[in-house]
Structure 1
Amino acid sequence: MLPQLHNIITRRKAPSLHQKIFAYSKQVTPYLSGSFGALNNKSIAVTNENSHKELKRVYDGLSQSHPEAGKAYWLTRTWDLVCWQPIYVTFISIYGLHSLPDIKNIGQFRYKEFITGYRFFNGDHQHGSPEELIPDAGEAILALTEFYRSQISEWTRIRPGFTNHLLADLLLGSLIKLQQHEPSLTNDYITAQAKLWLEACQLSENHLDSLKVDSSSGMLKLIRISCCLVYKCDSRKYCDNCPRHPDNKKIA
């Protein structure tokens, strides 16, 4: 059965909390489309020991679309693609709904060389403040990202230090987006939340140095530790928060 057809046939009515998560997700980006139901054998999920095959197809698709960019870019992009949805859904749930679904068991779907769309197959969740939920969220994210790393290791070498830098940048970048969405959140609050996330995900507090105060807005901005390497693609350039960007080298 085709994966898309399987997802349609097995889709079930989501619990009320998950319906809210799905609605909030679509407001962030249409690519963050959630559903509820059974996972198929093409899902990227801890319940599917063959997830590495779908991740390899993402990598191979990137190599075909951007042959000029090289292996480092293809791997970095593959990692970012498999991590962005779980992190976004976690932040939407915790800060938007003061809840945490079963992130460890989230399923994701590949579309060509992109990963878009996610699914939960159970309604497990907990409620609480961000401070109460972040430790459990961090534990789930650690388990999930370690699974992704082990799956990618089936076909290439991927170092924990490399993925830790990317994960830290993704977490801090999500907090920056949170403050941009809710400007009433102070710099001190965002910094305190960043410290909690880094601790929960067993990442160095040194990553806090990546947070800078923007001289024009007075709000926090991120200068990443890692580089996504998109500048290696034809007609692309450094991202605004790239550590290689000349303006950011002056700040750092």
Structure 2
Amino acid sequence: MTMYHSTLQHDALTPMFDLCRHVISYLDGKLEDPLAATQHNQLPEKQNIDWLIGNQQDKLTIQALIDDLEKSNPDAGQSYFKARTWHLLCWQPIYIAFISIYGLKQLPDFTRFKQQRQHNAIVGFTFHSDKIASGQAEQLIPLAASQLAPLLEHYRTQLDSLQRCRPGYSGRFIADLILGNLLKVKNLVPDFSDQDVLTHAQLWIKAMGLPEKLLKSLTIKDGQTIDFVRTSCCLAYKVNSKLCSTCPKAHK
């Protein structure tokens, strides 16, 4: 049975924070200081655009992110800015969930989760609660999805109010992040097989409410290891003139 538990000390999340930084140095988080949070919430909206805090004000933060992306690569085009923005909005919470579940058999509580905007990137995050759920991946995946799905849907609706971002478009990016991370798990976790990738992919896609057809991105041919081709294109080639190895454009 999966249960949340909390400690009186504020070090319950320390192993998760340390592992996140170990995997990706700028995946840097902390437990929110209640006093700082109160002061932050009292700031005028225009002074709050450095944080995604989970309410309608996030629209301003997302617009500021888009503006900075346009300044950095003015010729990349609106399609690239939208794809890059959506990826930036999603990557941290999904990576955190994967690192916690597959690295520690734990899941933090994403209630009132906040992300930091730093110019044309989103790096840095805070958790409001030090609650931790423990269990096997099969137990934690539905719990993670129940928190991540509404969080990402909130980001999508805010972005959609600025640039058209429909569920089909956003869902492909989310699925690709999930499936790509499962392949990373396979490379890092002993005894996590190709079949485990497929099994867990089904669990994640179903729990996140995504179309099952997106599972076709993963294929296993006779005598070969699992292969992955994205269904979404990040359009990074508009900036660096190179296609990603898993890009659908590279496999046509």
TM-score by length of 2: 0.86
**Ranges in structure 1 where 5+ consecutive residues have no aligned partner:** 1-12
Pick aligned residue for 1:232 from 232, 235, 238: 238
Larger deviation: 91-100 or 81-90? 91-100
Match in the other structure for 1:25: 20
**Ranges in structure 2 where 5+ consecutive residues have no aligned partner:** 1-7, 41-47
How many angstroms does 1:96 deviate by?
1.1
Superposition RMSD in Å: 1.9
CA distance in 2, matches of 1:91, 1:71: 30
How many angstroms does 1:182 deviate by?
2.1
How many angstroms does 1:66 deviate by?
1.2
Any conservation in 1 of the 2:111–2:129 contact (CA below 8 Å)? Answer: no
CA distance in 2, matches of 1:209, 1:155: 31
The answer to whether 1:105 aligns with 2:100 is no
Match in the other structure for 1:222: 228
CA distance in 1, matches of 2:221, 2:200: 18
CA distance in 2, matches of 1:14, 1:70: 48
CA distance in 2, matches of 1:183, 1:236: 36
Cα pair distance change 1:57/1:215, threshold 3 Å = farther
Deviations 1:170-227 (A, max 9, x none): 11111111111125311111110000000000111211211134899x4433200010
TM-score by length of 1: 0.86
Greater relative contact order: 1 or 2 (C-alpha under 8 angstroms, separation 6 or more)?
2
How many angstroms does 1:14 deviate by?
7.2
Match in the other structure for 1:65: 72
Match in the other structure for 2:214: 207
Any conservation in 2 of the 1:104–1:141 contact (CA below 8 Å)? Answer: no
How many angstroms does 1:67 deviate by?
1.6
Q: For residues 51-130 of structure 1, what are the structure 2 equivalents within 5 Å?
A: 51-130=58-137
Number of residue equivalences: 232
Any conservation in 2 of the 1:22–1:33 contact (CA below 8 Å)? Answer: yes
Larger deviation: 194-203 or 150-159? 150-159
Match in the other structure for 2:51: 43
Indicate the percent of aligned positions where both proteins have the same amino acid. 36
CA distance in 1, matches of 2:220, 2:238: 29
Structure 2 letter corresponding to 1:45 = I
Any conservation in 2 of the 1:14–1:35 contact (CA below 8 Å)? Answer: no
Larger deviation: 83-92 or 207-216? 207-216
